[in-house]
Amino acid sequence: MDRAGWGRIALRVGVIYLAARVITTVFLLLAAGMSGPGSRMGMGADLGDVVVAWDGTWYWFIAVTGYPTELPRTEDGLVAENAWAFMPLYPYLSQWVSLPFGSWAAGASIVSLVAGYGASVVLFHLLRARLDDAAASWAVVFFACGPLAALFHVGYAETLNLLWLFCALWCVVRRRYVWLYALIPLMAFTRPGVLAFSLFLALYGIWRWFRRDREPLRASEIAHIIVSGLLAAVAGFAWQVIAAAVTGEPGAYLATELAWRRNWISGEASFAPLEGFLSGAAFWFGTMWHLPVESGYVALVLVVIAVAAALILLPQAKKLGVEVRLWSASYLVYLLLVFFPQSSIFRLLIPLSPLWGAFAVPRSRAWRVGVLASCLLGQWWWIYNMYALGNTAWQVP
């Protein structure tokens, strides 16, 4: 595609993105105005309060004070919530951007908005490799207007991470592996989850190997896939090593992450692969909903089977190409292994955004308008609960 073609697409996506951001801004203003004394933000909230609410406060705190050299402790002697749970690239970049404005919230909002636009443009090109122009455009509409669209505005690192992720996936689709050596460290120091990309590259390399008779697999490609996959694995553990070196505690990062889990379950939290989801199933089905704990385990297994079947069998998913499906499977496996399911699960699913392409494949206008309406309805529901209310266990973004 020539520069004129890229420019037309950038303009088209820009119009879509701007319209979506106007809608989300209205929703956020309404939610801020509805915030009451019992909500997270209290009375008289404005857009600035929204930007630094929830995890935005932690990112702002990191930009101002940095990371602790000594881990804070609770009265029981356990590691308390602290800044080591958050990666450094987003807060420090936002601080740099904020300098002309004198407000970290302004810088954070600009970074989120600009990164979100860049991610939208790259998402179009990523999906356009497999879908027609209309389907790729509609997928961008769903992405820009989706239920988690508030993340394009607030002080969270998600949109910046999506920009790096979509670029990395596009590089794999286009077989331009050299760029991965820059994109993987950027992902690693923006948001947790780059280990899922390592798994993706391993699965992708296996897939390419078994179909090398249909698509030649050069030695240079093999080297790039293996080395970049190893780089992603090393980068995925780098922050843990840094936290341990600075604090002098080998398990500093893991203990910090588990501090948040103690907000949901009593006693000292522990980590083992799958333990989070198993504990989560017991918590939600047993403690919260007063259902047999076994039903939670059965539901978890059924969900895993259903998602796997959808990625493998659904024609709409197959049209996206093997790269998007392998990434989606890899990321879901990563979440299943390390995450404790709670209300933030919706936000943590946003790296699966390329799957919006599957919703855009059907050509029916009624279907596409219906999906868009559902996105907007879900967006208001999420914003209202997380920002206008935010006063119960499941209203945490």
pLDDT digits (tens, 9 = 90+) for 113-133: 999 999 999 999 999 999 999
Residue 104 has pLDDT above 70, yes or no: yes
Alpha carbons 40 and 362: distance in angstroms, whole number: 40
Inside any domain, residue 70 = yes
Task: Tell me the average pLDDT across 137-157.
Answer: 98
Inside any domain, residue 111 = yes
Specify the pLDDT at position 323.
98
Same domain, 336 and 369: no
Specify the pLDDT at position 128.
96
Specify the pLDDT at position 272.
87
Please spell the DSSP secondary structure of 143-156, one letter per residue: HHTSTTGGGGTSS-
Same domain, 286 and 370: no
Inside any domain, residue 27 = yes
Same domain, 141 and 281: no
Higher pLDDT, 393 or 98: 98
For the stretch 300-326, pLDDT in tens is 889 999 999 999 999 999 999 999 999
Inside any domain, residue 255 = no
Domain span including residue 323: 271-341
Tokens of 307: 């998602």
Of 13-17, 113-117, 289-293, 355-359, the one with minimum mean pLDDT is: 289-293
Task: Tell me the average pLDDT across 196-225.
Answer: 97
Reported as type and span, the H/E element at residue 303 is helix 293-313
Specify the pLDDT at position 268.
62
**Phi/psi of residue 60, each to 5°?**
-60, -45
Task: Tell me the average pLDDT across 23-31.
Answer: 97
Same domain, 142 and 182: yes
Same domain, 149 and 38: yes
Distances (CA, A) of 236 to 222, 230, 314, 322, 328: 21, 10, 31, 23, 18
Specify the pLDDT at position 123.
98
Query: What one-letter code names the amino acid at 394?
Result: W
Inside any domain, residue 352 = no
Same domain, 301 and 381: no
Same domain, 279 and 327: yes
Whole-model pTM?
Answer: 0.97
Specify the pLDDT at position 264.
79
Average pLDDT, the chain: 94
Specify the pLDDT at position 281.
85
Alpha carbons 169 and 200: distance in angstroms, whole number: 10
Residue 341 has pLDDT above 80, yes or no: yes
Task: Tell me the average pLDDT across 156-166.
Answer: 98
Domain count, the chain: 2
Higher pLDDT, 57 or 287: 57
Q: Are 161 and 351 in contact (CB under 8 A)?
A: yes
Q: Are 325 and 317 in contact (CB under 8 A)?
A: yes
Same domain, 78 and 180: yes
Which residue, chain included where needed, has tokens 């933030």? Answer: 344
Tokens of 322: 């093997």
Q: How far is CA 91 from the centre of its chain?
A: 16
Alpha carbons 271 and 10: distance in angstroms, whole number: 44
Specify the pLDDT at position 266.
66
Same domain, 286 and 142: no
Same domain, 113 and 167: yes
Q: What is the DSSP letter of 80?
A: P
Inside any domain, residue 228 = no
Of 272-276, 327-331, 335-339, 352-356, the one with minimum mean pLDDT is: 272-276
Inside any domain, residue 223 = no
Specify the pLDDT at position 42.
81
Same domain, 186 and 316: no
Same domain, 28 and 148: yes
Task: Tell me the average pLDDT across 341-348.
Answer: 91
Inside any domain, residue 241 = no
Higher pLDDT, 176 or 298: 176
Task: Tell me the average pLDDT across 135-140.
Answer: 98
* Confidence tier at 296 by pLDDT (50, 70, 90): confident
Q: Please report, to the nearest 10 degrees, the dihedral formed by the alpha carbons of residues 58, 382, 110, 30 taken in order.
A: -110
Of 105-114, 261-270, 271-280, 317-326, the one with minimum mean pLDDT is: 261-270
